[in-house]
Amino acid sequence: MRLIAVSFVILLALIQYPLWLGKGGWLRVWEFERQVAQAQSQNEKLKERNAKLESEVADLKTGTDSVEERARFELGMIKKDEIFVQILDKNAPSPASISSTSPAEKSQAAINH
């Protein structure tokens, strides 16, 4: 009787092995589900980025406002007959004091601000 019980337990373990650890087992399924969820979240981020880029491309193709905005902020350009005004902070070092300092002092000043 004991031999039959032991053989049933061994047979049950052999049957359970592929279910849990085999090629299509639960552990692999859980791992694949985790990978799919990770890929889906990455895809959502990429879709959002693509939508922003598509919107920007459409703006650049159709209107001049976005081109003008880029020229102003990225290239520092101004329109004809405009006056450029720059307001300096009182606590900021003056351009003369920056040019008279050593490169090490400049990098230290940049770190402190």
Q: Is the pLDDT of residue 111 over 50?
A: no
Residues 27-64: tens digit of each pLDDT: 888 889 999 999 999 999 999 999 999 988 888 788 77
Spatial CB neighbours of 63, under 8 Å, sequence gap ≥ 6: none
pTM above 0.85, yes or no: no
pLDDT band at 25 (very low <50, low <70, confident <90, very high): confident
Higher-confidence residue of 37 and 93: namely: 37
Residues 65, 41: Cα–Cα separation, whole Å = 33
Hey, where are the domains in the chain? 2-112
The dihedral built from the CA positions of residue 89, 93, 99 and 104, taken in this order, carries a sign that is negative
Residues 73-92: tens digit of each pLDDT: 788 788 888 887 778 888 87
